[in-house]
Structure 1
């Protein structure tokens, strides 16, 4: 199941055992047709060729088994080279976090800010006091306002053991471990608000009881009792997570307030790949809210498909963040494997000494109320609340080559690991090519290559179906139609859908990928094959997608 990633390039597609044998070294076997081939063969295509040449070569190639070429070309990688392996001194293992202090509203809208945040060298950026400089009304996201707006709305609750942020003990509290336990339940915003407030009151009372003078007048800036939550560690606390603020009517004032942010940070903008999905992906192209008490943990993870993320602390308390550059995700994944926890889908909290021992620098900082944290593409991060606070967060996909490459790399790795890619990257790539003018040559080449590979996939698949005498019915897409995923293996199914109708209910149709459809029936009996785009339509988008001159070069 493991796939070696050579030289930090994109993961190679796993070779299906069925592909091997007779194919010369387990690759695809191309059998040239007897007819004289016009134009380059499939293996020699590049993005300079026209759509007609790509289609022709795909028709002429005979591919045994599924067509499994990657959507990424290793030659196009824009990842910064990994640092030398020399052991780093301790101060280099705790580098300062890239931080920006905005003097004025004008600073927030400077193109320099976008460049800084999306620079592959900066895994995470904290923008201090952003809410103040943009005059964001964070009170709209306070617990009191949330209860008034939608008190009955469901909240997912994680029950966790409260412990210091740089520790994670096993159940017997005898040693530090990676797996991070939490059980799941559900409540409402109003009920969690009650819990959050009473937890705060209890802490105040405990401080009074211990005759801590400062408790008489809590720090007015944070309203956080000065007691150290670490002292009464190991009690069970509840974290209110993934509260959905996507309802545009109910949350209108809140969502409108976020339009004050610079375009590249907004939930929706023309330069955000997630605004080209064409449908809602909860928590990615919509806002989610988190309600916390001290000790609430968001365990280690990279964002879905390595997209960037924006997180604003509403307050009144602070959060502590830990972050590691994307370079090191495989080492961290290896630690997860050794500790018996799934890197992509499990719950884990890194043991810092393990990271330092592997020469991995960890960024560590405090996010205060009004601070915005920008998590760059692929950054591994984990967060713990040190006070009572709410946070809001969503994802963005800036149109940069680095973001696009990392998103596609994770898309292909997810397929290897049988994990669903929440972002349908092939669908998004075609939408971007159709509607966005791209002036960055690296990004343009990557998207064009992905589209070329997509046409090859569709055409090779189409040819084998036609040759086998399978009827393909055209059914064009309608507005707001979502992307499709295989009902069995969760892989994105683009353009050519293998559909079965389930017995029992009328109009219950299930979409499958070709592999899973053939596992049901090798000859595809009882499977209807639908095509969502005419070949000419994809050819036209492909040929019309050209590099435009950048605004600065005119």
Structure 2
């Protein structure tokens, strides 16, 4: 990562003055003393007595989202935190997660609950607010919308293998080499017992070459079927065939994939790649596969191992066909139990590759949704749902993430943000950065969502102000460098933690004159007194205070009136 201290944008540093001299300007927090002028008369003359007013300060421990930014800043004065500021961005009292009793035994025949499936009869049904409410209901882990493509007249042929080859035959494809197995089994390398680790190796090819493989695989299977029909054998078909899965194919380029991306604009707003109420549209930069479309090219047995989406965001997946896919899904409430199984089997829940043994889940009282996704079906994975997928036939799929601006999605995204920090895993979505962007641009009408976001902003200001005061008190100079358009969020170069507003910058190489960003902890490990570190501030505290105070709960009626007034 390159950074230009004193400049207006990240990039290579240019100039003759030294790194330290350029960043020597300190823009400390402006201070003022309130003075009370008392008019008095003495010997017939009018004069004034001057007295300093001691303002009453609210204890930081009692500060809440009902307080103003000014009261919050004053409460932070004089607070000294030894080590890292560790208060959570979440408040348990604001939790909106459904109460699911995981300890009540579930009868075996209830451990495969029916998957909610919606059959649309018209285009109007697809755009009904009832559909949005159903899909995002915290109690619904997954929803299958049958025949959505037909209802909206989506031209899925644009995503067929033939169309993809014609459009961009040399486009890159990541390939996962896997061993073909039944969807409800996962055998170890010796084939002696079922296990959780799901092994695969990675390579790369092009769309044209994978298309040839996909076609030859189908032809080979067809020949085997014909042979078996005319020449039946008592011998079993050999298992453990090696297959190749074409995954993570990037369709983000609007020039290369214009017809495909335009076709997806036919979807309801809450399912689209980009919309105003999608938190991922407020990141400010591209996150491949999340706020862009990715394509998957499959042969039978191709597996997407178990996972929750990055930062627990929702996902949309459409089967292009011609074959089916089989899905397994578990409500977010059970993710910790699944995490324990991963630990038991020596595979990392967040970064490893694993395929749950169904019997393990059933014996632990964990219900599993299991269903078939046919061509034209859209699968909506709700926030935090654990899921894994296997191709039944030859097919292509397209998928992306969405972040509906509701309390459940926001809470789960922030929970995973904090859990990632504990596990030292990068949060692909910079949640603090996104929260401030949402506060600046979106009017929130839901009280629960408002409280969660407001509390996050409050904790963010506390962290910034306390850290800032401690830096200034220790004599550390802080330089102001405002953000520029489309500037990405920053992460620590060492631990991948999101770094918001106060950036600790060091020189990577004296010869290259390039610089990297760190969090405070990692910066102090390199230089305990921060002597070789420049601290940059991207937002003045007054700007954050204005955003905080202006972020208020808006009534639904007021929002409707505001929208209507635009057309008058």
Q: Structure 2 length normalisation: TM-score? A: 0.87
Number of the residue aligned with 2:115: 97
**C-alpha distance in 1, partners of 2:371/2:239?**
21
Number of the residue aligned with 1:345: 351
Matched, 1:236 2:235: no
Matched, 1:476 2:482: yes
**C-alpha distance in 1, partners of 2:229/2:204?**
37
Two-structure CA RMSD over aligned residues (Å): 1.6
Q: Answer yes or no: is the 8 Å Cα contact 2:245–2:302 preserved in 1.
A: yes
**C-alpha distance in 2, partners of 1:386/1:232?**
17
Number of the residue aligned with 1:202: 220
Number of the residue aligned with 1:191: 209
Matched, 1:120 2:138: yes
Matched, 1:488 2:494: yes
Structure 1 residue 83: Cα displacement: 1.9
CA shift digits 1:479-501 (9 cap, x unpaired): 00000000000000000000012
Matched residue count: 505
Q: Answer yes or no: is the 8 Å Cα contact 2:102–2:365 preserved in 1.
A: no
Which deviates further from its counterpart, 255-264 or 500-509? 500-509
Residues 96, 514 of structure 1: CA spacing in aligned structure 2 closer, same or farther, 3 A cutoff? same
Q: Report the secondary structure of 1:390's partner residue.
A: strand
Q: Answer yes or no: is the 8 Å Cα contact 1:37–1:60 preserved in 2.
A: no
Structure 1 residue 232: Cα displacement: 4.2
CA shift digits 1:309-329 (9 cap, x unpaired): 000000000000000000000
**C-alpha distance in 2, partners of 1:276/1:73?**
23
Structure 1 residue 212: Cα displacement: 5.9
Q: Report the secondary structure of 2:396's partner residue.
A: strand
**C-alpha distance in 2, partners of 1:484/1:335?**
34
- Unaligned 5+ runs, structure 2: 1-52, 562-568
**C-alpha distance in 2, partners of 1:487/1:84?**
39
CA shift digits 1:411-457 (9 cap, x unpaired): 00000000000000000000000000000000000000000000000
Structure 1 residue 63: Cα displacement: 1.4
What pairs with 1:392-411 in structure 2 (closer than 5 Å)? 392-411=398-417
- Of residues 308, 312, 317 in structure 2, which corresponds to 1:311? 317
What pairs with 1:23-422 in structure 2 (closer than 5 Å)? 38-83=56-101, 85-211=103-229, 231-422=237-428
Matched, 1:459 2:465: yes
Structure 1 residue 231: Cα displacement: 4.4
Larger radius of gyration: 2
**C-alpha distance in 1, partners of 2:294/2:455?**
34
Structure 1 residue 507: Cα displacement: 4.7
Structure 1 residue 391: Cα displacement: 0.3
Structure 1 residue 154: Cα displacement: 1.1
Matched, 1:517 2:535: no
Number of the residue aligned with 1:18: none
Matched, 1:546 2:552: yes
Number of the residue aligned with 1:443: 449
Structure 1 residue 69: Cα displacement: 0.3
CA shift digits 1:485-521 (9 cap, x unpaired): 0000000000000001221554521000000000000
Structure 1 residue 111: Cα displacement: 0.1
**C-alpha distance in 1, partners of 2:103/2:134?**
26
**C-alpha distance in 1, partners of 2:468/2:201?**
46
Q: Answer yes or no: is the 8 Å Cα contact 1:318–1:368 preserved in 2.
A: yes
Q: Which has the higher contact order (CA 8 A, sep 6+)?
A: 2
- Unaligned 5+ runs, structure 1: 1-34, 214-229
**C-alpha distance in 1, partners of 2:83/2:196?**
40
